[in-house]
Every structure is written in C-alpha cells, then in structure tokens.
Amino acid sequence: MKRRNFISAATMATAGLATANVSGKTSKNKDFKLKNNINHSVCQWCFNSYPLEEFLAILNDLGIKAIDLIGPKDFDLLKKYDIHCSMCNGAEISLTEGWNDPQYHGQLIKNYMEIIPKVADAGYTNLICFSGNRRGMNDYVGLQNCVDGLSQILPLAEQHGVIIHMELFNQQNHPDYMCDSSLWGVELCKRLGSDNFKLLYDIYHMQIQEGDIIKTIQTYHPYFGHYHTAGVPGRNEIDETQELNYPAILKAILATGFQGYVAQEFIATWDDKIAALKDAFLRCDV
C-alpha cells in the first residue's frame, strides 16, 4: 500500500473510532453479555461527568434498561432511549429535611401529591423519600411523625401503583440522619402497613452502619424494595479492593425471590469509568 493511501485509511479509521467512542458504542461492548437474573440499574449522579443523553446512549449499547434518581423533567429523555426509571426523585426537599419533622409535612405532602401521578403516568413505580435529620429528636417521636406524614400520601400512591421508598443511610456520610437502622426502617414499614411503602436498602451504607448484610437481607427482605451498591470503604468500585462480597450478596438477594432493581451507586476511580461500571454489572450478574 502506498504511504499516502495508508495515511488516508488510518485517518478514516481513527475518525470512525472517535465517533464510536462519543456515542458510547465501542467494539469492547460486543462481548459484554448479562444473564439478567438481576434487574440492573445505575445511579446517574455517579456518572454525571457524562451528559445524561450521552449516558443513556451508553446504557442502551450495554443493554442496561434502567437508571436511578431521575425526576419528571427528564422523563421524556428516558422515553427517547427506552430507559426505565427504576427509582424516581424530585418530590423530596432534601436529605436532611424529611418526614420525621412535622414542619416539613405541608411542603412534602404537596410535592408528593404532585409527583406521584407524574411517576405513574410515565409508567414508573418507585419514588424515593428521606427521614431527615434528628436535630435532637427522639427516634420514637420521629418514627411517629413519619407515620403521620406518610399516611397522608400513601392512599394516592396506592391508587396510582407507586411505591414510596425511604433510603437507609449511615452516620459517617450523613451525620444525624434518622433512618440509619434496618430495624427502625422495618418498624416504620410495619406501622404504615402498606405494600406501597418500602425501604431502599443501600448495601454500602448498611455495611458501614451495622454490617451483617446477608443475614439482614434474608430476615427483612419483604420490607426491601430496592438495593444500591458501592464498595466499602471509600464508596468506590465493588471489586477486590473492598471488603464486601457482592456476588454472594446478590445471590442472597436473588434467593429471596426479589424481582426489583439493584442499582450501582459507586464513584468510579478507574480512568475508564464505563469499564468500571461494566465490571460492577458483571460481578452482580449472578
């Protein structure tokens, strides 16, 4: 081949590769195959270095059909890429201002009454909520306050088939957050007595806060409607650099008959963040 022809061909090949990388459709994904016994998802905020539309295109190329923590303003974009919102947000005030404090009930009730129908109309099921911080409040008082407030939105959630999920956090990352115990969260579920209220069991947070992850899942799985992952310590990749055995945990989740979503919520440290995400999906694809 003449040198000029070789350079021309090489330039065209490089340009084609660049285009493929921008779209997220690289040849590396051809061998990325999932069994999909687990419904896989990913939290968008962990990969927000990618514009949302670009990230959705990448998920499409990977065959991942769900994403977490998206609000109504982006539902149309998800529809464009046929990506399901496995955990919706947008009704909460903040992580620290939640259902345990009656001063926020008025605003929260208004927000959730507006968002619940939007979630249902979009064909989604899960909507997140938070307990809020203690600020010196007794846990039993906060528990009853949550019951009083959430009871006012659950009839609408039941009517629309939407499940409200309260997320469990640890005290290291979220000091003073009230819903920091599986037992506290389970008691809240019991008092509300609705299939439309469950816990978002964050494996990372609960490993730090209380440990005994597999036993907790086996015991309390009827109250867990959604799971989040991340490596401990550091909230990074779920590979051998951290202490949790995610394949064993996912097998325990699968053994309970769980049919919801498991969403990756780690902060990637690898240079190739999508390669880190693919690795996490494969480790959880039991």
Mapped to the 3 state alphabet, what secondary structure does 240-286 carry?
Answer: CCCCCCHHHHHHHHHHCCCCCEEEECCCCCCCCHHHHHHHHHHHHCC
Instruction: Please report the pLDDT score of residue 29 as a whole number.
Output: 72
pLDDT tens for residues 195-253?
A: 999 999 999 999 999 999 999 999 999 999 999 999 999 999 999 999 999 999 999 99
Structure tokens at 8: 């021309």
263-274 average pLDDT score: 98
Residue 3 has pLDDT above 50, yes or no: no
Residue 264 has pLDDT above 70, yes or no: yes
Mapped to the 3 state alphabet, what secondary structure does 181-221 carry?
Answer: CHHHHHHHHHHHCCCCEEEEEEHHHHHHHCCCHHHHHHHHH
Q: In whole angstroms, give the CA distance from residue 167 to residue 15.
A: 45
167-176 average pLDDT score: 98
Instruction: Please report the pLDDT score of residue 91 as a whole number.
Output: 98
- Residue 28 pLDDT level (bands cut at 50, 70, 90): low
12-26, 112-126, 215-229: segment of lowest average pLDDT:
12-26
Model pTM? 0.89
144-150 average pLDDT score: 98
Q: In whole angstroms, give the CA distance from residue 64 to residue 207.
A: 26
